[in-house]
A and B are shown apart, each in its own frame.
Chain A
Amino acid sequence: MLNRVMEWFRTLFGTPSSSSVAKERLRLVLLSDHLALAPDVIEAMRRELFDVISRYVEVDEAHSDVSFEHKEKGIAMLASIPILSIKPREPESLPKEETSVLEAVTVNGHTSDNYGRRPRKRRRRKASGASQTAPAQ
C-alpha cells in the first residue's frame, strides 16, 4: 500500500507516470525487436549506405560493421567504415543534398552529428529577371 502512495507522489511531483514510462520503453523495445527481425531491411540499408559513401571515398567493405545501439532516448545506427582513400571529385557529379535516415554515423571511429547533410549551395538563377535563392538549410 505504501509504495502505491509513493508512486502517486512520484507522479504528483512531475515524475512521469509508470504507464508513460512503459509506453516509451515499449516503443524502443519494439523498434529494436523489429530491427532484429528484419535482416533484409538492414542489409538493404547497409548496401545503400555503402553506395552513398563510396561516391566520396574508397571504403573497405570487408572490414566494415553496421550495428544498432540503444541510446538515451532512442536507437542509433552505428557504422564503422574504414576509409582507404578519397575519390577524385568531379564537379558535374556532385549530388544534390541527401537526407539520411540515420541518427548518427560513425565514420572511421569519429561520430558525426550532421549525418551526411551538406549545406545547400546558394544558386542565383536569372530567370525572367528574378533571382531565386534556394534557402539555406
Chain B
Amino acid sequence: METQRVVSVPSEAAPQLEIHAPSAPVESQKKPKARGRTIVVTSGKGGVGKTTTTANLGIALASRGAKVVLVDADVGLRNLDLVLGLESRVRYHVLDVLEGKVSLADALVRDKRVQTLYLLAAAQDREKDDIATDAMIGLIEQLRGEFDYVLIDSPAGIEMGFKNAIAAADEAIVVCTPEVAAVRDVDRVVGLLGNRITVQLVVNRIRPALVRKGKMLSVDDVNAILRLPLLGVLGDAPDVIIATNRGEPVALDDASETGAAYRAIAARIAGEDVAAPQAAEPEGLLDKLGSFFGGRR
C-alpha cells in the first residue's frame, strides 16, 4: 500500500514567496535584491514589554502593507506565538529549520488577520545554546532577502539568547520601563550592542499621574541616563492585558490608545514624520484638568 506521511502543513502556512538558499553569492552584474531591515527588540530586564512590542509593531508595520516576519529568539520560553494568538498554529520552529527538518517556508506561520505578517516560532523543548550564532545570522540574512522587516524578539538577559538575537540585527529597539532596575539593565545592554547597531528607545508603562506626584521616573529622567533617540512612550493601560488574554494584540484595535501609539511608532520606523507618541493615562476628569493647567508637556 502507498506510504503516507502526515506532514502537518496547513495551506495557510505556505506564503506566496520563495525562500532561497543563502549560499550562492550575488554576482556583480546582477542587481542586488532589496534587503529588508533587521531590528532586534531587546531590554536586558525581563517583563518590560519586548514581546508585546515586537508583536504590535509587527502588526502595525504589516498593516501598512510591508512584508514582515517576526522571529522569536526566546528558545525554551517562547511567548511571541501566545501574544500574537497564533500558538495553536505553530508546527515547526527555528531549530527545525536550522537542522534541516523542514523548510523555512513551511515553518513560517502566516497571520490570517494581517496577511503580510509571518511568525517564525522558537523551540519550546530546546535551549538557547542550541543555536549557533552563525546559523542565526544565516537565517536572518535569508529572511531579509524576502521581507521588508525582520523583527527579532530577544529574550531577557545578556547571555547566548540575547547574543544570537542581536547578531544579525542592524537596528535595535530597546524597551525600558520607568524603574531604576530597568534603566540600569538597558544601559548595560546598550553598551553590549556596540557601534554597529542603531539604537532607539521605547519607554513603556509610564503613568503620568504618578510621574506628576513624583512617584515614578519621567521619560526625561530615564533618557537623561540612556541618552537615546526616543521612538515613543507607551502607557500602562489594562487593554494590553485583555489583548494578551485573547491573543488579539492592541495594534489590531482601532479603539485602543495603546494600539494607536504602536501604529505611530511603526510610522516613525517607516520614516514618516510623525511625532513620537506620549503616554496617555486613562484619567478621571479632575486629573485631566490638572494636567491641562499645570502638568508636564
Enumerate chain A interface residues (CB-CB to B < 8 A): 1-4, 6-7, 18-19, 21-22, 25, 28-29, 32-33, 36-37, 39, 60, 63, 65, 67, 69-70, 78-80, 82-84, 106, 108-109
Contact = CB atoms under 8 A, between A and B. Distances in A.
B8 A7 contact: no
Contacts of B247: 21, 25
A37 B8 contact: no
B130 interface: no
B125 A37 contact: yes
Interface in B1-57: 1-8
Interface of B: 1-8, 82, 87-89, 91, 124-125, 238-239, 242, 244-247, 253, 255-257, 282
Given A2-B255, A4-B238, A63 B245 contact: no
Given A36-B125, A69-B91, 20 more contacts: A3-B253, A3-B255, A4-B238, A7-B239, A18-B245, A18-B246, A21-B247, A22-B245, A22-B246, A28-B88, A29-B82, A29-B87, A36-B124, A37-B125, A63-B3, A65-B5, A67-B8, A70-B88, A80-B5, A82-B4
Interface of B, secondary structure class, is: loop
A53 to B, nearest CB: 14
Nearest to B258: A3
27 contacts: A3-B256, A7-B239, A7-B242, A18-B242, A18-B245, A21-B245, A21-B246, A22-B246, A28-B87, A29-B82, A29-B88, A32-B88, A33-B124, A36-B125, A37-B124, A60-B3, A63-B3, A63-B4, A65-B7, A69-B91, A78-B6, A78-B8, A79-B6, A80-B5, A82-B3, A82-B4, A109-B4
